Structure 1
Amino acid sequence: MKKTVNSVWFLSLALADFIFCFFLPLLMAYIVLGRQWPFGTVICKLCLLSAYLNMSASVLQLTIISIDRCISVVFPVWCQNHRTVRLAVKVVLAIWIVSLLLNVSYLINTHADDSDDNFVACYKEWAMERAQFMGWYYDEEEEKEKIKIRKAMFIMRSISMFAVPFTIILISCTLIFFKMRKFRKPKRSRRSFRLIIAVVVCFFICWFPYNIWPFITISGQYWNLDRLITEISVCLAYFSSCINPIIYVFFCHDFKKNFIKSLPARSTKLSMKILT
């Protein structure tokens, strides 16, 4: 595909999803081994940082894609004059810098605890997080200040990584739908409407439990299914990295056209190599 604004968006989104998924086998091994971490402190820090960093970059990129599509539909003349690849690259760099700043605390506060000769844990420094994963007793009174700090971080993360992006995506998709409904054929409008609904619903399902459930656990209201609900909310957030390519790339007309067009060329080149 040619180097366009859309290809820059999708490349950044693909990079975030790929790096995030690249570290998933380590997290899977950690869970399978009963939360025993055999990979050392450096990998522990990088693994958790990559998870949070690329989830943030992915969410911000999805928000930018929605804004860009909305502006392209609502203000086509402005886009023709100002929507450039160079501007897109600058926006992408800003997204990654903001994501790093939002998650640098995880790099600082993540540790691999090897104080127990028979057990090594990879955890964030906050005592409640450690207690939740290790099954230790947690005294809320002794860690009151840490709870306040953690609540503030949860609030900041939920606002910046869910409330604001979801609101922007919802508004952008609504504006796109009404604009396309006004100027395009009903059949095309219905197809676009279904895609818009899919974007909004998938984003909400994947990220709402992940951003809301920590507020329940941090308040001390633990249930019997606390661990299960926590794992489900995390898995839904992880699943967004799998669903992104389907919604934002494979449903894209240009991608399908170029992908189908490239298949004969790839097949021909492969056949020539085999014959020679």
Structure 2
Amino acid sequence: QLLPIRVLSLTNSSLDPSVIDDNVYKCIFDEDFKYVLLPVSYGIVFVVGLCLNLLSLYLFIFRIKTWNASTTYMFNLAISDTLYVVSLPLLVYYYAMGDNWPFSVGLCKIVRFLFYTNLYCSILFLLCISIHRFLGICFPLKSLQWGHVRYARRVSVIVWVVTVVCQSPVLFFVTTSVKRDTITCHDTSSKDLFGQFVIYSSVMLVLLFCIPFLIIIICYCLMARRLLQPTRGMSRLSRSKKKSVKMIIIVLMVFIVCFLPFHVTRTLYYSFRSWDLSCQTLNAINLAYKLTRPLASTNSCLDPILYFLAGQRFMRFTGSRMPGKPSNEMALGIMPNSHLETSNDTDTLSKDVKS
């Protein structure tokens, strides 16, 4: 967090005033843009994300009769997104007031905890969805066992436990500080614990982002290779393959747009604080980091797109029910019907939806 001062000195220093004292704080950046960008972007994410995720939860709970593995993962993803977006009004108020936190220290910890919990819950549930679909396309026989809904429920519990345990140190590190009658809700830690916080963040970066991202890329490359292989079949199968490729692109775009820039700029932001760099370079890194923070939150708005692309019936229930349509439409386009003909856990939401 940087002080909202309209001065840029040309002397070297660290980026965060919580790490240094006033008498050695030499690089001071203009962050007026943050007090417009963050309230507006978080406000948009709150309105759009809350509406889309509440609608998704309604469809999952009241309109889908029988769940499959992908439905289970998507439902948990919607819960994670909803829990996060309901905390955004506090951040909207906080940044609109110029980094002045009027609430308790405990609420500051919870808001930061929800951000990182949602971030890594989203990544891990997207990983689960990707592996599930990878098995359905490339190893359809194995997916009969490992793709069953009872395993998906167990995996979902494991994802929540792992994420909450891994992010629980955030509740310890995050704190507030008072400077010039302004209370700052830091998203890092106090200056005494900052070195430990960087180590902790680096471990989380590898375990909860780099490794899942690598696995997803490998899975989707193998899936795309399988889907793009020339096969004999009806035109409907060709359409399902195109839809599957679109789903692959959507998931990868969520990672590339939302998660990758944030983790890259945050790593640079933490690493370069102690380096002997010019103030212009440090200012550019600080600016990039502040710009990518809202991007990391937009996954709460993009995730519902996956649900609506999951099946024509799911999307149709957002409007009016179209009568006279057959009930065997493929719901999860990422898994063509030809790969699931032998599956007892066929991913077809259309026949699982209540009439």
TM-score, normalization by structure 2: 0.63
What is the aligned partner in structure 1 of residue 90 from structure 2?
26
What is the aligned partner in structure 1 of residue 186 from structure 2?
123
1:55 is aligned to 2:129: no
| Structure 1 residue 169, shift from structure 2 partner | 1.0
Further displaced range: 221-230 or 158-167? 221-230
Distance 1:90 1:20 in 2: 23
Q: Which has the higher helix share?
A: 1
2:184 match: secondary structure: strand
What is the aligned partner in structure 2 of residue 199 from structure 1?
251
What is the aligned partner in structure 2 of residue 92 from structure 1?
156
Matches within 5 A, 1:1-276: 1=64, 2-113=66-177, 115=178, 118-124=181-187, 126-127=189-190, 146=193, 148-182=195-229, 183=231, 186-218=238-270, 219-220=272-273, 221=277, 223-246=282-305, 248-253=306-311, 256-260=312-316, 263-264=319-320
User: Alpha-carbon deviations, 1:181-236, whole Å to 9, x = none?
Assistant: 23465554344323312321331221122111123222224523344312211111
User: Is contact 1:35-1:121 (8 Å) kept?
Assistant: yes
- Percent of aligned pairs sharing the same letter: 23
User: Alpha-carbon deviations, 1:108-140, whole Å to 9, x = none?
Assistant: 122233x56832221256345xxxxxxxxxxxx
| Structure 1 residue 68, shift from structure 2 partner | 0.6
Change (3 A) 1:190 1:13: same
State the one-letter code of the partner of 1:45: K
Change (3 A) 1:84 1:19: same
Change (3 A) 1:117 1:206: closer
Which protein has greater RCO, CA pairs closer than 8 Å, 6+ apart? 2
What is the aligned partner in structure 2 of residue 137 from structure 1?
none
1:223 match: secondary structure: helix
State the one-letter code of the partner of 1:119: T
Distance 1:61 1:200 in 2: 14
User: Alpha-carbon deviations, 1:214-272, whole Å to 9, x = none?
Assistant: 232222245233443122111111112211111x211112xx31442575469xxxxxx
Further displaced range: 207-216 or 91-100? 207-216
Change (3 A) 1:188 1:88: closer
TM-score, normalization by structure 1: 0.80
Structure 2 stretches lacking a partner, 5+ long: 1-63, 323-355
Distance 2:87 2:113 in 1: 10
User: Is contact 1:177-1:189 (8 Å) kept?
Assistant: no
Paired residue total: 246
Distance 1:35 1:119 in 2: 7
User: Is contact 1:20-1:54 (8 Å) kept?
Assistant: yes
